């Protein structure tokens, strides 16, 4: 299994002989609701990975289902997505879409199973997805991904995975509270007992501007995670990737 982190929550996961692009934002700016004065992200445009077998989207918001990037990808690429993200790619003209609610699964032949878990609340009645991916031919090749630190308690009754990808930094807004919860990283560590854990949602080579940036409170929980690993999970290794770096994850 190989994983490549680009920036923010964009990953290329190579598992079960498949190339899966996760939450892609690779070209153009990131803006919410055309409010550039409030928030604007700029990424260093990267070559879009080729020969993709699947696109995996955890949320329908632009930082996970980035319309400009998705418009650069072949529209016949299969997409597994949260219900909200499925609506985004449908509007963009994608032709093979598999919406998943938490608890539902998608199976790619006899090679891969993807299980949706309950993820982040992004509205009063809108819950997005995390995912567990397992290689059906090599069960030791497995991972769990959730980009906001909102972890489904049912993971406590789930079989272990080899890799956990979760944020290790809290991002908080006044009144609203945490929008990303890095303080929860010990939950999948304890529940899923991974051999490796990797942070997501870090800026990488992305820059941000706008009023919202001045209001964000950023707090790292990496030291606490390392302490929890040392005390209770000495066989787990924390890997901190660099943008564009492909890492081999031993089974």
Assess whether pLDDT exceeds 70 at residue 175: no
Query: 7-54: per-residue pLDDT in tens?
Result: 999 999 999 999 999 999 999 887 877 767 667 788 877 889 999 999
Q: What is the CATH number of the domain that holds 213?
A: 3.60.15.10
Report if residue 62 sits inside a domain.
yes
pLDDT of residue 205: 79
Residue with tokens 């879409």: 97
Domain of 152, in residue numbers:
2-241
Report if residue 248 sits inside a domain.
no
* Count of structural domains, the chain: 1
Coil, strand or helix: which one is 142? strand
Coil, strand or helix: which one is 127? strand
Query: 62-121: per-residue pLDDT in tens?
Result: 999 999 999 999 999 999 999 999 999 999 999 999 999 999 999 999 999 999 999 998
- Model's pTM, two decimal places? 0.94
Coil, strand or helix: which one is 104? coil
Report if residue 249 sits inside a domain.
no
């Amino acid at each position: 299994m190989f994983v490549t982190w680009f920036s923010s929550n964009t990953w290329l996961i190579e598992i079960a002989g498949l190339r899966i692009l996760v939450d892609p934002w690779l070209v153009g700016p990131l803006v919410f609701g055309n409010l550039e004065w409030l928030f604007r992200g700029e990424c260093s445009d990267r070559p879009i990975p080729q020969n993709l077998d699947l696109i995996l989207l955890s949320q329908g918001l632009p930082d996970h289902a980035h319309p400009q990037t998705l418009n650069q990808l072949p529209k016949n690429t299969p997409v597994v997505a949260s219900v909200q993200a499925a609506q985004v790619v449908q509007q963009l003209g994608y032709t093979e879409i598999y919406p998943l609610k938490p608890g539902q699964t998608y199976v790619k032949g006899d090679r891969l199973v993807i299980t949706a878990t309950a993820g982040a609340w992004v509205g009063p009645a809108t819950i997005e997805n995390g995912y567990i991916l397992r290689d059906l031919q090599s069960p030791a090749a497995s991972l769990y991904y959730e980009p906001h630190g909102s972890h489904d308690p049912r993971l406590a009754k789930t079989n272990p995975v080899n890799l956990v990808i979760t944020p290790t930094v809290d991002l908080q807004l006044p009144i609203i509270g945490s929008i990303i919860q890095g303080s929860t990283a010990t939950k999948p560590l304890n529940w899923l007992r991974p051999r490796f854990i990797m942070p997501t949602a870090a800026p990488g080579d992305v820059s941000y501007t706008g009023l919202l940036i001045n209001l964000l409170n950023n707090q790292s929980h990496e030291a606490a995670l390392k302490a929890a690993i040392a005390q209770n999970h000495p066989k787990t290794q924390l890997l901190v990737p660099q943008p564009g770096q492909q890492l081999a994850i031993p089974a």
